[in-house]
Amino acid sequence: MKTQVLLSAILFLLICPKGFSSTKEVTNQPDSVYLFSYATTKDHNTRGLHFAWSIDQKYWHSIGPEYGYVKSDFGRWGVQKRMIDPYLMQDSDGLWHCVWSLNENEKAFAHASSQDLVDWKRQSYPMVEQGNCLRPVLKYNPAQKLFELTYVSSQNKYYCLSTANFKSYTPVKEVPSDSYVNSSKQITLAEGICTGQVHRVAWTVVDKLIGAYERKQYNEALGQERTEQDADRFADLKPVEVTVTVEKEKAKPISDKLIGIFFEDINYAADGGLYAELIQNRDFEYALSDKEGNDPDWNSTHSWRVKGENSLFSIATENPLHPNNPHYALLEVKSPGASLVNSGFDGIVVKKGEKYDLSVFTKQIAGKGGKVLARIVDKNNQVVAQATLNVSTAGWKKQQSVLTATADAANASLELQPLTPGSIGLDMISLFPQKTFKGRKNGLRADLAQLLADLNPRFVRFPGGCVAHGDGIHNIYRWVNTVGPLEARKPQRNLWGYHQTAGLGYFEYFQFCEDIGAEPLPVLAAGVPCQNSAVGGGGQQGGIPLCEMDNYVKEILDLVEYANGDAKKTKWGKVRAEAGHPLPFNLKYIGIGNEDLITDLFEERFTLIYNAMKEKHPEITVIGTVGPSFEGTDYKEGWELATRLNVPMVDEHYYQSPGWFINNQKYYDSYDRAKSKVYLGEYAAHLPGRPNNLETALAEALYLTAIERNGDVVSMTSYAPLLAKENHTQWNPNLIYFNNEEVKPTVDYFVQQLYGRNSGDEYLPVRLAVSNQRNEVKNRIAVSVVRDSKTNDVIVKLVNMLPVSVRTEVNLNGLETGRLNGTKTVLTGSPADKQVRPTTESIQATSNLPCNLPAYSFTVIRLTHSAK
Ligand code: AHR
């Protein structure tokens, strides 16, 4: 298999030694041929639209075979994105239109158009009022410039509508069966009998289709470059020599915010993770609907149980603590002795001598008021801390106490034992270490937060990712639900299949940013939810109804007021001040949208928000979105929209193989500096099996040298995702893994840290002279030199992803003057190593800075300005 991959890559390189060219020199090509468009039922109809061509309609050549030129974007992840019975036709202007059926039940069809069958425009999913839409057929009436769509329902009724633009159409009417004329044919291809349409097209159309397919194959072959092939790939390679010349006269300013962090509540990153609360389901709001699968235990009682006899534990909803928090625990105690027990998130960890704030809202419902004994009990039933709390007889009241642990315990639980008979209500049962990051109340787990601070991030993006735009419009993350008293915040289902308390809310995010000196970068939904949302609300992802958009836009404007408004003169500034922060948080950036499909629904809503922000808050940099990939329809249309609206920055996302990062270092070199700036908001190198190791880390380090080189157009980057709790992980790889007791930064973390701690704001271009001329060799060596104007230090980053050492000399061109002292930090090991850590030594700079880069290494040399 290894050899096969290598061979196919070599084959491609031999075919296309100097870049890719699809057009072969063939002199007797036909002027026109037959083109067959079809789809198969494979993988639940998700493989998209395929093509085959023929000179004579007898012998067919399928392209790919079965290469998907356009795939359906409708519906949930994976198998639900189906393209059934696509029907392709060309209008009189030469534009191709494809309609297809989405699934067996949908009262909607899909439409997409293309000039050349290679690049497809955004898809739309018009809803129809009658029948589910099966086997659609499209015809064009050029005189009227109208398309007529007929389809069949599963009741075998025939319907018809006409439309000029696939946005609005005449009412759907039932038609006789003979109005439905489907010209699809069955063609026997090598892969079997397929149904589709036959068109007569110019050969150039087919040539372009073949070219697009071959280009994709070529790029994919490059992307498969992996270090495990290096023994073959670089079999005879001798150590390489590189001379680097710094061209300081060509210095250019670059962003000083290149390295930031992406925080999303995925993998238990918030509750049970960064948010230091020790009690799981403290609000009794876990619900079956939090999870997609059938998990009967995921309900209001999750993580709670009763230990002992003569007491009944149930969930009540009558007269709750707050309408946003409708469930609470009802304990009916016949005779005292039993306790309500919480097992925490995989147990509760306490440390000897440390203090824990316990708070509980209590209410005596029947019987006389009494007390509750609160105890932290270890797994051997030993009490490690205890206190008593009152039960309020006059409605809900917060009771508080401090518990001091007398011993360490890793798997403890909290027990609440009523000391008198009667019925009591309990809610918002919270146990919080006093030792949080910077000692903040309702704060963050100190070790995890410190690890984030140690990255020296220049910004923090929050609250996601997909969590920001949510699973359906009712699951959009609304900032306003996450501020104010904890009991009044609105918890909700987390799209990753668990529960969000909103205890870590916008106030806490802003506070954390301030605490670590990073810019806050909230990302809000563009009025549309995640593109993989459960279907509903107008087809595909749906969108907030336009009649509600004014309120939604206002909510976004209010966020700016909440962050920056005067504490005395503005409504939201006052709310912030009441929460303990009278001074503004100095919000400068807002992201609108998260890798959304660029649909009409999206564009309409994004434009409303963007225009309002531009008018009311021109001081805020709005960051738009350009889809989930470095290419494709959403990428192109997202960029077109951003350019049209003059959006200052856009958010790009791509998770790719190390080979992709190695072979795409020039990605930003040709970006137009006059258009929007780039925030590379989500990226990571993904290997099969998704490990983090030195190979992924070095691929990222290599690529980041190119980002620094393009730091005049790329303003910010953040690796994603950030955090993952062991045994609660929905996504790999992540930057940091953790459990209740340990934090486990990955190798990729150290690359981010080396960049975060060694960033600059001026880029000093370099010229490389490499002793080996093979592109594959040169692609594995990268250098970036920056200057940090605050310290006047010069930083040289050198990446060697080769299996041999690289001897470098860096001609500093006088930059060494006054910067003779420095440090050299090296991260090196074998590519599969997951545990390598950087080591640092002091060095003295010379004018040629000789340096040996070990095989598979990342070296950072920091030359300190002596006047510091
Ligand atoms: O980073 C994990 C997920 O990847 C994010 O939530 C989403 O934006 C992307 O698809």
Q: Which two tokens stand for residue 548?
A: 């509600």
* Residue 721 CB less than 6 A away from ligand 1: yes
Ligand 1: residue whose CA is nearest its atom 4: 465
Ligand 1 atom at minimal distance to the Cα of residue 721: 1
- Active-site residue set: 595
Q: Which two tokens stand for residue 749?
A: 């973390």
Strand pairing category for 339-342 and 409-418: antiparallel
Which of 579, 583, 643, 592 is closest to 621 using CA atoms?
592
Amino acid at position 202, single letter: A
Ligand 1 atom at minimal distance to the Cα of residue 466: 6
Question: For the purposes of burial, counting CB atoms within 10 Å of the CB of 19, is it exposed (0-12), middle (13-18) or buried (19 or more)?
Answer: exposed
DSSP strands (E only) in 419-515: 422-433, 459-462, 492-494, 498-500
From ligand 1's centre to the CA of 12, what distance in Å?
Answer: 32
Q: Respond yes or no on whether the N-terminal peptide bond of residue 733 is cis (omega within 30° of 0).
A: yes
Q: How many angstroms separate the CA atoms of 449 and 446, rounded?
A: 5
From ligand 1's centre to the CA of 569, what distance in Å?
Answer: 38
Residue with tokens 């021109």: 618
* Residue 138 CB less than 6 A away from ligand 1: no
Which of 531, 682, 719 has most ligand 1 atoms within 8 Å of CB, for mutation?
Answer: 682
Beta-carbon count within 10 A of 142 CB = 9
Q: How many angstroms separate the CA atoms of 396 and 154, rounded?
A: 56
Beta-carbon count within 10 A of 789 CB = 12
Instruction: Give residue-wise pLDDT tens across range 450-487.
Output: 999 999 999 999 999 999 999 999 999 999 999 999 99
* Residue 465 CB less than 6 A away from ligand 1: yes
From ligand 1's centre to the CA of 776, what distance in Å?
Answer: 31
Ligand 1: residue whose CA is nearest its atom 9: 465
Q: How many angstroms separate the CA atoms of 150 and 618, rounded?
A: 48
Amino acid at position 80, single letter: Q
Question: What per-residue confidence (pLDDT) applies to 24?
Answer: 54
Question: What per-residue confidence (pLDDT) applies to 17?
Answer: 40
Q: How many angstroms separate the CA atoms of 343 and 307, rounded?
A: 12
> The sheet that has 736-738: what strands, in order across it?
723-725, 736-738, 743-745
Ligand 1 atom at minimal distance to the Cα of residue 467: 6
Local structure of residue 10 (DSSP, 8 states): H
Ligand 1: residue whose CA is nearest its atom 3: 465
Q: How many angstroms separate the CA atoms of 274 and 562, rounded?
A: 23
Question: What sign for the dihedral angle of Cα 449, 455, 461, 465?
Answer: negative
From ligand 1's centre to the CA of 71, what distance in Å?
Answer: 20
* Residue 264 CB less than 6 A away from ligand 1: yes
From ligand 1's centre to the CA of 534, what distance in Å?
Answer: 16
* Residue 466 CB less than 6 A away from ligand 1: yes
How far is the CA of 398 from the CAs of 328, 358, 363, 394, in angstroms?
A: 14, 10, 9, 11
Ligand 1 atom at minimal distance to the Cα of residue 682: 1
Which of 49, 42, 93, 79 is closest to 67 using CA atoms?
49
Beta-carbon count within 10 A of 224 CB = 18
From ligand 1's centre to the CA of 304, what distance in Å?
Answer: 31
How far is the CA of 381 from the CAs of 131, 357, 710, in angstroms?
A: 63, 21, 59
Ligand 1: residue whose CA is nearest its atom 5: 465
From ligand 1's centre to the CA of 203, what distance in Å?
Answer: 41
The reported pTM is 0.95
Question: What per-residue confidence (pLDDT) applies to 22?
Answer: 45
Q: From the centroid of its chain, how far is CA 237? A: 39
* Residue 225 CB less than 6 A away from ligand 1: no
* Residue 594 CB less than 6 A away from ligand 1: yes
From ligand 1's centre to the CA of 685, what distance in Å?
Answer: 14
From ligand 1's centre to the CA of 349, what distance in Å?
Answer: 30
Report helix, strand or coil for 29.
coil
Ligand 1: residue whose CA is nearest its atom 2: 721
Q: How many angstroms separate the CA atoms of 589 and 522, rounded?
A: 7
Question: What sign for the dihedral angle of Cα 440, 442, 446, 450?
Answer: negative
Q: Which two tokens stand for residue 525?
A: 């939904």
Q: Which two tokens stand for residue 422?
A: 């009667």
Ligand 1 atom at minimal distance to the Cα of residue 468: 6
* Residue 230 CB less than 6 A away from ligand 1: no
Q: From the centroid of its chain, how far is CA 367? A: 52
Q: Which two tokens stand for residue 570?
A: 């503005």
Which of 462, 533, 594 has most ligand 1 atoms within 8 Å of CB, for mutation?
Answer: 594
Q: Respond yes or no on whether the N-terminal peptide bond of residue 465 is cis (omega within 30° of 0).
A: yes
Residues in the chain, pLDDT under 70? 1-26, 79, 535-541, 866-868
Phi, psi of 551 (to 5 degrees): -65, -40
Question: For the purposes of burial, counting CB atoms within 10 Å of the CB of 425, is it exposed (0-12), middle (13-18) or buried (19 or more)?
Answer: buried
Ligand 1 atom at minimal distance to the Cα of residue 628: 10
* Residue 682 CB less than 6 A away from ligand 1: yes
Q: From the centroid of its chain, how far is CA 378? A: 38
Ligand 1: residue whose CA is nearest its atom 8: 465
Q: Are 9 and 32 in contact (CB under 8 A)?
A: no
